[in-house]
């Protein structure tokens, strides 16, 4: 508990120092370069006061979660196939590894050429950019299952459900949650790029409008909205992790 309080205190101090530095810069540079902190805060809360603006934020959040769910489902299936069949692993691994090197902007261009529907286009970009990380994380987690523990468990002739519940699930869940944390940050960056081209709603579209209006305060407010979403969801994942993986804390205490 004290550790979390200390971390929160340090975070507050760091953010306050950053805000102070920005406010000082706003006194030395024009507002379109460094708007005052109160102007940024006002623009940020204006998003919550306007239903139309808030719907733009909701649209982006739905696209992020939809893309991640799709990539997670497909990545899980690919990881299981690669874990069960070595031949499939030899063929799929180079493809996924090659996919990791493709920039998000390239997927944006490809999706524009391939698809007409904007929502499907953005979903495809999200899945294409986050699929390799999900697949590799889940595959590594599955392969980390101890062979000794597996053989010992099989000696008791458990049902498939019992084996999955007592051995496989506790082993792979930490890797799955880590994959979600990592991909959440990646997805939040990719979705903005995807929305900049062709979308008529979302945070990326609003950022494009702010750029056209030279409204730096608005651009920072929308950026903060996206960061806030990522931090909140990551915190929820951490809470799930603390609840699901309570056995790890007990093991560390020697219980």
| 247 confidence band (pLDDT: 50, 70, 90) | low
Q: List the structure tokens of 81.
A: 């196939």
| 255 confidence band (pLDDT: 50, 70, 90) | very low
Output the DSSP codes for 87-140: HHHHHHHHHHHHHHTS-HHHHHHHHHHH---HHHHHHHHHHHHHHHHHHHHHHH
| 223 confidence band (pLDDT: 50, 70, 90) | very high
pLDDT of 253 above 50: no
The CATH number linked to 189 is: 1.10.3720.10
Residue 42 resides in a domain: yes
Residue 148 resides in a domain: yes
Evaluate whether 145 touches 83 at the Cβ level (below 8 Å). no
| Mean pLDDT computed over 157-168 | 71
Q: Which residue has the higher pLDDT, 115 or 9?
A: 115
Residue 17 resides in a domain: no
Residue (of 245, 254, 230) closest to 182 by Cα position: 230
| Mean pLDDT computed over 157-164 | 71
CA angle 130, 196, 122 (to 5 degrees): 40
Residue 14 resides in a domain: no
The DSSP code for 168 is I
Q: Which residue has the higher pLDDT, 55 or 160?
A: 55
Residue 4 resides in a domain: no
Residue (of 168, 171, 177) closest to 72 by Cα position: 177
Domain limits at 147? 35-252
pLDDT of 2 above 60: no
Residue 27 resides in a domain: no
The predicted structure's pLDDT at residue 226: 92
The predicted structure's pLDDT at residue 60: 93
The predicted structure's pLDDT at residue 7: 54
List pLDDT tens digits, range 108-146: 899 989 998 889 999 999 999 999 999 998 888 877 776
| 171 confidence band (pLDDT: 50, 70, 90) | confident
Q: Name the maximum alpha-carbon separation found in the chain.
A: 73
pLDDT of 248 above 60: no
Residue 102 resides in a domain: yes
The predicted structure's pLDDT at residue 151: 67
Lowest-confidence range among 75-79, 150-154, 168-172?
150-154
| 222 confidence band (pLDDT: 50, 70, 90) | very high
Q: How many domains does the chain have?
A: 1
Evaluate whether 106 touches 197 at the Cβ level (below 8 Å). no
Q: Which residue has the higher pLDDT, 176 or 149?
A: 176
Residue 180 resides in a domain: yes
| 221 confidence band (pLDDT: 50, 70, 90) | very high
Give the side-chain half-sphere CA count within 13 A for 130.
31
- Cα–Cα dist 100/232, whole Å: 27
What mean pLDDT value characterizes the chain?
A: 84
- Helices then strands, counting H and E runs in the chain, come out as 12, 0
């Amino acid at each position: 508990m004290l550790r979390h309080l200390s971390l929160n205190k340090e975070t507050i101090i760091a953010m306050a120092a950053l805000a102070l530095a920005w406010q000082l810069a706003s006194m030395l540079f024009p507002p379109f370069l460094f708007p005052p902190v109160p102007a940024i805060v006002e623009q940020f809360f204006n998003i919550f006061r306007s239903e139309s603006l808030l719907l733009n934020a909701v649209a982006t959040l739905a696209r992020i979660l939809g893309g991640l769910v799709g990539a997670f489902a497909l990545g899980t299936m690919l990881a299981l196939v690669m874990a069960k069949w070595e031949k499939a692993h030899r063929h799929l691994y180079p493809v996924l590894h090659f996919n990791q090197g493709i920039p998000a902007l390239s997927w944006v261009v490809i999706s524009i050429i391939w698809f007409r529907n904007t929502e499907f286009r953005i979903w495809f970009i999200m899945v294409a950019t986050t699929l390799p990380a999900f697949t590799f994380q889940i595959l590594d987690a599955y392969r980390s299952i101890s062979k000794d523990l597996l053989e010992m468990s099989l000696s008791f002739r458990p049902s498939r459900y019992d084996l999955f519940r007592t051995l496989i699930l506790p082993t792979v869940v930490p890797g799955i949650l880590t994959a979600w944390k990592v991909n959440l940050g990646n997805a939040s960056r990719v979705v903005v790029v995807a929305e900049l081209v062709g979308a008529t709603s979302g945070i990326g579209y609003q950022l494009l409008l702010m750029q056209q209006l030279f409204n730096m305060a608005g651009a920072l407010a929308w950026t903060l909205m996206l960061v806030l979403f990522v931090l909140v969801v990551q915190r929820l994942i951490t809470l799930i992790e603390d609840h699901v993986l309570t056995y790890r804390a007990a093991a560390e205490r020697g219980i």
